[in-house]
């Protein structure tokens, strides 16, 4: 018989101990996957094991190989860490095991999303009428928003895509920044619009969309149902598209405007960076992540839509056994997302926003931007090192020496050092080190220590 209380206390102890230790552990442990396989694999277990033994085996096998992305010196992929309250809330959500499909499956999960979503909308400066869905991440958020867009632009052209599909429908134009995130393309594939049909628009020197070129691309094509995809937070440079003028141009063509702001939308949450997303409220839909800059644990993203009817028309479904007759007016979380049964991920978001408050979130955004600038200033002062982007947000692009090979060597050495972890990217034909600052745990000391590791790698 499992002593559940002892088991979960032990687990909480492991989580706490790991999180306390992570600043001093190698950021990338260099663990051999074969050791993890040996610890956890083998033949399919024939019979049961005690819960204590299962947990002990999992911890022993996995913990030495964990990537320290929840620590202070992980600068890859805009990962963010996880706030204490948000982590605890997610642990509670797992323990409570609610199905957040609708107000019948879990009224409380529905209300938590309703509260947290309303707070997010306000923090991000989105219209008060905007609907929202709590999804798994930016990919799902982009897909949900573009499904709503597809519905609305075709409905305006007299076509019911939900009923009749795309065969025989009016063609949909999709115009997007050439430096969009690849998940836009995957969303277009999934929605049957086709990534190949996308009309790309060039960008300025820092990777923000060129509004004059956007106007030209829109003007040169046929009059048709049109979706324009803008971006807040270029995945490489952090640049934000000039939203207000870009939306205005798109409006002249009756287009739906979607903003992919997986991390950059959080610029709206600080008075010092809000100018970067000026005009944000004029768009039609917005995708962002909680598991990036809000520092909510994985997996958590949000799809917002200025047209709740289109959002629901594109996503909702029902069945006789699912009707929530008891509370017909309550918001059904499942009407705004791709999943049916789903975990109560609103709890962690509620906790993150409750823990930070408006000022705490603004301070987190500002701190990350200031630390990104600190990286840029220090690295740019080193001989043989060049910062390639204008560091407007939390992203820094760095080149070492005059060729890609030196940059690749430095990145590999830094990743192997265990001191910090930065990824590699390719931008404008160059291989570059990509530094993303998005953890609430990162301090000036962490940046200085990481710069020392980078310089040591360069000079080795």
Ligand X SMILES: Cc1ncc(COP(=O)(O)O)c(C=O)c1O
Q: Does position 132 bind ligand X by CB under 6 A?
A: no
If the CB atoms of residues 113 and 260 are measured against ligand X, the closer one turns out to be: 260
If the CB atoms of residues 172 and 232 are measured against ligand X, the closer one turns out to be: 232
The crossing angle, in degrees rounded to 10, of helices 346-380 and 444-459 is: 50
Question: Given 3-state DSSP classes, what are the helix, strand and coil percentages for the chain, each rounded to the nearest 5?
Answer: 50, 15, 40
Quick check: 330 and 336 in contact, CB under 8 A?
A: no
The helix or strand, by DSSP H or E, that contains position 432, with its residue range, turns out to be strand 430-436
Candidate residues 102, 139, 203, 450; the one interacting with ligand X per rule CB under 6 A: 139
Exposure of 43 by Cβ count < 10 A (0-12 exposed, 13-18 middle, 19+ buried)? exposed
* Piece of the chain touching ligand X by CB under 6 A; list 133-141, 202-210, 362-370, 380-388: 133-141
Tokens encoding 19:
């999180």
Q: Does position 335 bind ligand X by CB under 6 A?
A: no
If the CB atoms of residues 162 and 299 are measured against ligand X, the closer one turns out to be: 299
What is the number of other CB atoms lying within 10 angstroms of the CB of residue 13? 10
Q: How far is the CB of 15 from ligand X (least distance, A)?
A: 22
Exposure of 17 by Cβ count < 10 A (0-12 exposed, 13-18 middle, 19+ buried)? exposed
Q: In whole angstroms, give the CA distance from residue 441 to residue 81.
A: 7
* Piece of the chain touching ligand X by CB under 6 A; list 131-139, 157-165, 214-222, 452-460: 131-139
- DSSP-derived 3-state class of residue 141: helix
Q: In whole angstroms, give the CA distance from residue 85 to residue 452.
A: 32
Total residues at interface with ligand X (CB under 6 A): 13
* Piece of the chain touching ligand X by CB under 6 A; list 2-10, 201-209, 257-265, 335-343: 257-265
If the CB atoms of residues 177 and 332 are measured against ligand X, the closer one turns out to be: 177
If the CB atoms of residues 67 and 413 are measured against ligand X, the closer one turns out to be: 67
- Chain positions 59 to 78 lying near ligand X, rule: CB under 6 A, are 78
Q: How far is the CB of 286 from ligand X (least distance, A)?
A: 11
- CA-CA-CA-CA torsion sign (104, 106, 109, 111): positive
The helix or strand, by DSSP H or E, that contains position 98, with its residue range, turns out to be none
Binding mask 263-302 for ligand X (x = CB under 6 A): x-------------------------x-----------x-
If the CB atoms of residues 68 and 261 are measured against ligand X, the closer one turns out to be: 261
- DSSP-derived 3-state class of residue 132: strand
Q: How far is the CB of 416 from ligand X (least distance, A)?
A: 24
- Chain positions 187 to 206 lying near ligand X, rule: CB under 6 A, are none
- Total number of residues shown for the chain: 460
If the CB atoms of residues 139 and 273 are measured against ligand X, the closer one turns out to be: 139
Alpha helix ranges (H) inside 157-273: 161-164, 182-190, 211-220, 243-252
Candidate residues 137, 238, 242, 279; the one interacting with ligand X per rule CB under 6 A: 137
Binding mask 215-254 for ligand X (x = CB under 6 A): ------------------x-x-------------------
If the CB atoms of residues 209 and 235 are measured against ligand X, the closer one turns out to be: 235
3-class secondary structure per residue, 77-119: CCCCCCCHHHHHHHHHHHHHCCCCCCCCCCHHHHHHHHHHHHH
Q: Which residues bind ligand X (CB under 6 A)?
A: 78, 137-139, 181, 183, 233, 235, 260, 262-263, 289, 301
């Amino acid at each position: 018989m499992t002593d559940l209380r002892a088991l979960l206390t032990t687990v909480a102890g492991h989580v706490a101990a790991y999180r306390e230790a992570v600043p001093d552990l190698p950021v990338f442990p260099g663990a051999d996957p074969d050791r993890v396989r040996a610890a956890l694999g083998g033949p399919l277990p024939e019979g049961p094991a005690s819960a204590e033994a299962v947990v002990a085996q999992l911890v022993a096998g996995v913990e030495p190989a964990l990537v320290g992305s929840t620590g202070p010196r992980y600068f890859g992929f805009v990962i963010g860490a996880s706030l204490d309250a948000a982590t605890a809330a997610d642990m509670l959500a797992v323990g409570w095991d609610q199905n957040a499909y609708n107000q019948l499956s879990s009224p409380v999960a529905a209300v938590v999303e309703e509260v947290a979503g309303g707070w997010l909308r306000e923090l991000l400066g989105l219209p008060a009428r905007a609907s929202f869905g709590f999804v798994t991440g930016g990919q799902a958020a982009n897909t949900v928003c573009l499904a709503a867009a597809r519905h609305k632009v075709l409905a305006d052209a007299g076509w019911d895509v939900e009923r009749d599909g795309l065969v025989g429908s009016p063609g949909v134009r999709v115009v997007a920044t050439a430096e969009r995130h690849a998940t836009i393309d995957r969303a277009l594939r999934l929605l049957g619009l086709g990534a190949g049909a996308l009309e790309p628009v060039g960008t300025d020197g820092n990777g923000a969309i060129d509004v004059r070129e956007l106007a030209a691309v829109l003007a040169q094509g046929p009059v048709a149902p049109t979706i324009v995809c803008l971006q807040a937070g270029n995945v490489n440079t952090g640049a934000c598209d000039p939203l207000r003028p870009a939306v205005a141009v798109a409006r002249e063509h009756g287009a739906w405007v979607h903003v992919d702001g997986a991390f950059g939308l959080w610029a709206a949450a600080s008075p010092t960076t809000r100018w970067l997303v000026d005009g944000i409220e004029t768009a039609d839909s917005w995708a962002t992540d909680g598991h990036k800059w809000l520092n909510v644990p994985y997996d958590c993203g949000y799809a917002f839509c200025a047209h709740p009817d289109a959002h629901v028309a594109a996503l909702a479904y029902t069945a006789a056994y699912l009707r929530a007759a008891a509370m017909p007016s309550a918001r059904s979380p499942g009407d705004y997302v791709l999943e049916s049964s789903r975990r109560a991920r609103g709890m962690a978001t509620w906790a993150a926003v409750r823990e930070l408050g408006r000022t705490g979130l603004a301070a987190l955004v500002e701190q990350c931007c200031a630390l990104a600038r600190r990286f840029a200033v220090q690295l740019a002062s080193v001989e043989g090192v060049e910062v390639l982007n204008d560091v407007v947000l939390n992203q820094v692009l760095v080149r070492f020496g005059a060729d890609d090979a030196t940059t690749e060597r430095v990145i590999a050495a830094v990743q192997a050092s265990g001191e910090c972890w930065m990824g590699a990217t390719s931008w404008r034909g160059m291989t570059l080190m990509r530094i993303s600052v998005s953890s609430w745990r990162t301090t000036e000391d962490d940046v200085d220590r990481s710069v020392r590791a980078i310089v040591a790698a360069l000079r080795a």
